[in-house]
Structure 1
Amino acid sequence: MRTRPLYDIAAVLARLGVGVVFMAHGWQKIEAGVTATSRSFDDLGVPLPTAAAVYSAFVELLGGAALIAGLGLPVTGALLFLDMAGAFVFVHADQGLFMVDGENVQNGYELVLALGMISLLFAAGGGGRLTADQWILGRRARTPENDGDEEEDAASFVASLRAAETKPAKKPRSPRPAKDRTPSLDPPKDTGAPDKPDTSGSGKAGEGAEDDVLVAGRKNQRRRASRTQPIKRTPGTDEDTPT
C-alpha cells in the first residue's frame, strides 16, 4: 500500500524523466530550425507543416521544463498530449508499434504513445504535491489579504457575540390586576325578580333563621353541660336537672 509522501517522490521522478525527453526533442527541432522541421513535416504528410513545426518545437521544449517544475500541470499536460496525439495520427500510426525492430528502423508509435498517456495523467492531477502549483496556491492562502479577511471575520463574530450579551433583556409583562373579590357592602340592586318563597313555615324568612340559631344554641349548651356535670333526671318531670 502506497503512502502519500512516497507517491509524491515518485511523481517528481516521473515528471523529471518525461520532462527531459520532451525538452530534448523540442531543442532538437529548434536547433535544426523551424524551416527544416516544417519541410520534414510536409514530407511526412502533416497538415499545416509550419504551424505544426512551431507548435511541436516550443511546446515540447517549454512544456518539458514546466513538467519538471510542476508549473501549470493541467494546461501543460493537455498541450503535450495534443502534440503526441498529432504525431501518432499523422506520422507513426501506420509504422507499427516498435521504433526499431532488429536492424530495421520502423519509426513506430511506442514512444509517442507512452509520452502522450503520461502527459494526460499529469493533466488529470497526477503530478503529486511537490510542484510549483502547490507552492503558489499555498502562498496565496497565506497572503496578508486573506489573513486580514480572516481577522475581520473573527472580529465581526466576536462583536456580534458581545452585542448579544449586552443586549437588554425584555421587561416581563406586568400581570393584569385581579378582579376585586371583596364582597360589596352596597345593597343589591333590585332586578325585578320575584322574591324566593319562604319555606321555613313562618310568615317571615328572618324569624325562621332566628329560630334556627336559638335552637342550635340550646343544643350546644346542653352538650357542654352534659360533658361537665352529671345530669340527674327528676321523676315526673321532662326537664333534666344538673347536680
Structure 2
Amino acid sequence: MRTRPLYDIAAVLARLGVGVVFMAHGWQKIEAGVTATSRSFDDLGVPLPTAAAVYSAFVELLGGAALIAGLGLPITGALLFLDMAGAFIFVHADRGLFMVDGQNVQNGYELVLALGMISLLFAAGGGGRLTADQWILGKRARTPEDDGDEEDAASFVASLRAAETKPVKKPRSPRPAKDRAPTPEPAKEPVKEPDTPSAPGKPETSDKPEDAAEDDVLVAGRKNQRRRTSRTQPIKRPTATDDDATT
C-alpha cells in the first residue's frame, strides 16, 4: 500500500526525468532551425510541416520545463500527449516498436509511446502534490479567516495538552476545631433605659435634698430658728483703728 508522501516524491522524480527528455528534443529542433525541421517533417510525410515543426519545438521545450515545475499540468500534459500522438501516427507507427533492432536503426515508436502515456497521466492529475499548481491554488483559497481558525485550533490543542500535563491539586482538609483561632465576639452596646415621664400633677422631686437655709433647733421645748453659719470662720485681720485702741 503506497503512502501519499512517497507518491509525491516519486511523481516529482518522474516529472523531472520526462521534462528533461522533452526539453532536450525541443531544444534540438530549435537549434536546428524551424526551416530545417519543417523540411524533415515534410520528407517524413507530416502534414503542415511548418506548423508541426513550430508546435513540436516550442511545446516540447516549454512543456518540459512546465512538467518539471508542475505548472499547468492538465494543459501541459494534454499538449505533450497530442505532440507524441502525431509523432506516433505520422512517423513511427509503421516502423515497429524498437528504436534500434540489432544493428538496424528502425526509429520505432517505443519512445513516443512511453512519453505520450506519461504525459497523459500527468494531464489526468498524476503529478502529485509537490507542484506549482498546488501552491498557487492553495494560496488563493487561503484567507486570513482560515489563518485565524488555524491559530484558534492550535491554541485550543495547546490548552488541552497543558491541562493534561498540569497536576491536579488535592483539596485541603478542614482544620480541627481546636486548631482554629477563636473568633472575637462583637462588643455589645449598653442598653440605655428610656426616661420615664413623671405623672401629671405630681411635682418632680430631686434625689438630693436641698440645703436648708435655716436649721430647726429644739431649745427648751420649742423650736428656735437660727441661720446656718459656716463651721469655719474667716480670720479677721487687724485694722489701723484696732491698733490705736489697744495702745
Q: TM-score, normalised by structure 2?
A: 0.58
- Give the corresponding residue for 1:44: 44
Structure possessing the higher radius of gyration over alpha carbons: 2
Partner of residue 70, structure 2? 70
Q: What pairs up with 1:19-168 in 2 under 5 angstroms?
A: 19-143=19-143, 147=145
- Output the CA distance in 2 between the equivalents of 1:74 and 1:141: 19
After TM superposition, list the pairs within 5 Å mapping 1:174-213 onto structure 2: none
Q: Which runs of 5+ in 2 are unaligned?
A: 150-247
CA distance in 1, matches of 2:3, 2:93: 38
SS class of match (1:91): helix
SS of 1:126's partner is coil
Separation in structure 2 between the aligned mates of residue 42 and residue 143 of structure 1, nearest angstrom:
54
Kindly tell me the number of residue pairs found equivalent between the two proteins: 148
1:126-152 alpha-carbon deviations (Å, 9 max, x no partner): 0000000000011101245xx49x99x
Report the alpha carbon displacement of residue 28 of structure 1 after superposing the two structures with TM: 0.1
Cα distance, 1:46 vs structure 2: 0.1
Cα drift, residue 73 of structure 1: 0.2
Question: After TM superposition, what 4+ stretches of structure 1 lie above 2 angstroms from structure 2?
Answer: none
Q: 2:193 maps to what in 1?
A: none
Describe the superposition over 1:168-201 as per-residue Cα deviations: whole angstroms up to 9, x where unpaired.
Answer: xxxxxxxxxxxxxxxxxxxxxxxxxxxxxxxxxx
Partner of 2:6: 6
Deviations 1:202-231 (A, max 9, x none): xxxxxxxxxxxxxxxxxxxxxxxxxxxxxx
Q: Counterparts of 2:126 and 2:65 in 1: how far apart (Å)?
A: 17
Q: Which has the higher helix share?
A: 1
Q: Following the alignment from structure 1 to structure 2, what is the Cα–Cα distance between the partners of residues 40 and 122?
A: 29
